[in-house]
């Protein structure tokens, strides 16, 4: 199993700190995301790649990186994120992925595309989407069927289904589930943590779990 970090070309308050990169086995920059990082800093990362068709990369910046660290997309039939995820699937057996800088209110089409892509690939890898405001876990029964969260009492936790879902169960949340089978796009939003340890599980289906966390706020 590897732990991978993808940095997309979205908007964040500041770059990720250098110490944070050491948590990951591989760091992947999507296209213009590389523009915001010092070249010596990036080269200090033990395992990194730069992906994309490079329509938003400064050519002078890209030219300073070795060709072995550059993976060029030649087809416009898939997005840079899909291209990057396919690379991970083709080169690694088991992936835990965190996606940073995926959210940019100036380009909502990219936001929706990134999110839908993560739903699609959640059957193949564990995916967490991280923004300045919240964290989203994608839980697919084809990959895993349970999640444990460390929360503060009173934290808001929301769940939305992206397929028919069977056997959704909560532990540590105020509002329970009344139906054993839930339709696609069921909204279980604004639930409240009543314990520090929150557990969510499903028998089958795909759900997204949204919650606020202070863990990343001093990093991105």
The DSSP bridge partners found for residue 196 are none
Which CATH number is correct for 2-132, 3.90.320.10, 3.40.640.10, 3.40.800.10, 3.40.50.10240?
3.40.50.10240
How high is the pLDDT of residue 218? 44
How high is the pLDDT of residue 131? 81
Residue 148 phi, psi (nearest 5): -115, 130
- Does domain 139-211 fall under CATH 3.10.20.310? My reply is no
Which uninterrupted H or E stretch holds 119? helix 108-121
How high is the pLDDT of residue 214? 55
CATH 3.40.50.10240 segments of the chain: 2-132, 139-211
Q: What is the pLDDT of residues 138-165, one digit of tens each?
A: 999 999 999 999 989 999 999 999 999 9
Name residues of the chain where pLDDT drops below 70.
11-18, 213-220
């Amino acid at each position: 199993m590897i732990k991978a970090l993808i940095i997309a070309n979205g908007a964040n308050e500041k770059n990720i700190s250098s110490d944070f990169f050491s948590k990951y086995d591989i760091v992947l920059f999507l296209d213009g995301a590389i523009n915001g990082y010092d070249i010596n800093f990036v080269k200090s990362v033990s395992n990194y790649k730069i992906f994309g068709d490079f329509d938003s990369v400064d050519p002078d910046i890209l030219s300073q990186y070795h060709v072995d660290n550059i993976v060029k997309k030649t087809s416009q039939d898939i997005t840079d994120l899909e291209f990057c995820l396919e690379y991970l699937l083709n080169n690694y057996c088991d992936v835990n992925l965190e996606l940073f800088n995926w959210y940019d209110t100036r380009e909502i089409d990219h936001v929706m595309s990134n999110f839908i892509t993560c739903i699609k690939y959640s059957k193949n890898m564990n995916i967490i989407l991280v923004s300045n405001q919240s964290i989203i876990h994608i839980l697919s029964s084809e990959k895993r069927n349970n999640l444990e969260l460390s929360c503060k009492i009173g934290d808001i936790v929301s769940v939305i289904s992206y397929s028919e879902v069977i056997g959704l169960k909560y532990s540590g949340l105020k509002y329970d589930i009344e139906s054993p089978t839930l339709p696609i796009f069921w909204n279980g939003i604004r639930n409240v943590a009543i314990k520090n340890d929150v557990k969510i599980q499903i028998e089958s289906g795909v759900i997204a779990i949204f919650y606020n966390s202070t863990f990343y706020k001093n990093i991105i």
